[in-house]
Structure 1
Amino acid sequence: MAAEGALGVTHHVIYPEKIDSARDQNSVLLLKKSTFPNGSSSEITSLVESAFEEGAKVPVSQGDILAITADDADGVPYVIASFHGDTNGLATIPVLDALMKVVRSDNEKSLSLSGHKLIFGLDANTYESGKSGKMQDVLEFGKKYVSHDLTSCWGDVPNPKQYTTYNARTFLQPQLNKACKSTQKKLNGDVNPKDFILFNSKDFGLEEVWKDNTGEKKYIEDMAFPTLNFPSDHGLLSAVLKPNIRDGSSEL
């Protein structure tokens, strides 16, 4: 539907080959046509899924991962990926490890991706105060992406208080065990730094990053959402990346 609407005029709308039509949480990518005129070159999601550590039980569902290759208008090759993490974030590090394994491989099966520039946007579902084996700690995740020579829109060491979710359940819903008083929404709600854009600082410089929980390109701290005007339970995360190598090239 999006591809046939206004977005489809300016952007390539890309979704996983194996999408789960029964779920409303599939990963989707939008590529601006002026920057990526030919859209996606290939989907490599299956390569990422097959790169999980043998025997590991990674809690991912069909449609959670979308990874593609694409060439920009200057012919520079990219790997662009999107991931929707499980509630506790336990799949986040295994998915990152698998993606990097594929990107750094240099053989026919992996399409020789080692020369591609990576941009990876993800709902990592990381927590300000994680619990080992139960909830993914945000600082532990930061150490992991740095170990892969990546940085994020929040830097090498993410601020645990850089929240991108702020929601809590009222008593006007059936799961009363998850409800809390309005005075306790920050203490008992989901207020965490969950969303990231990852890239290699050798490839890109970060020009600007911003959050939005209003639909007006601004983020109101300590405001619970979704709201009537902003239906998502995660804030929008945007970043302007400027390629370090190509002189005069456009920002992404």
Structure 2
Amino acid sequence: MYRVFLLALVFVSFQSQMSGERVLSREKSFIAPSVVVRKEVKKEEAPPRKIPIAASRIIALDVNESHTSHTIIARSSDTVLLNSFDLKFSQNSFYSLNGGPFLSTMGAIHLPKPGSYQLTYYSVDFFGNRDSGKTRILVIDDSPPKIEFRFNPPRFINEDAESCAQGSFLTILASDSLSGIRSIFWKPSAEEIWKRYDQPILISKKENQIFSIQAYAEDLAGNVTTVETISCYVI
């Protein structure tokens, strides 16, 4: 009887050890699920491929709008509209340039010649109610900006050829007397895609090669310069 009990005890102990090993084996064989980290790729704005064409625009001014830019920039070909604070009961709108007499208009403002003006406008409804009105700066700009190229060190004449030193820099400057500059674009003359100009261009061509680029500028009114080309013989 004692032997039977002893054998049973040994068998139970052996079973427990085997069971423990199996559990341990299961723990060792457990594989954690993989975690995939996705990296967001920021898409860059595609550079322009074509030179923009200045087209006529319709610029609507809301008399009752308080969060508007103080300066209105337009071209003579644009249409500037006055929107009343109450379209259902609006009777008329009035505007004045540079403190002159108020002129009546049912919509569009007669744009003056290019220049900078102080524009004051308001609307009156059928019941004679007048809104508070607004005073803003109106800039009419029909002229494209101007471009200037500067080499550092400057270009020089070498054997009757405009030459530049390898490793020098080219700076592109643009100026506009009325609306201001929106952006400058450039590209190597042999390429098609325009790049936004934001820093001086390194002349990295090898010696005895021609360095040549094209550039244009656009002002805030949408006027665009003609494409200008600059080149030099690298020595």
TM-score (norm 1): 0.23
Q: Which entry has the higher C-alpha Rg, 1 or 2?
A: 2
- Bigger proportion of residues as helix: 1
- Bigger proportion of residues as strand: 2
TM-score (norm 2): 0.24
RCO comparison, higher one (Cα < 8 Å, 6+): 2
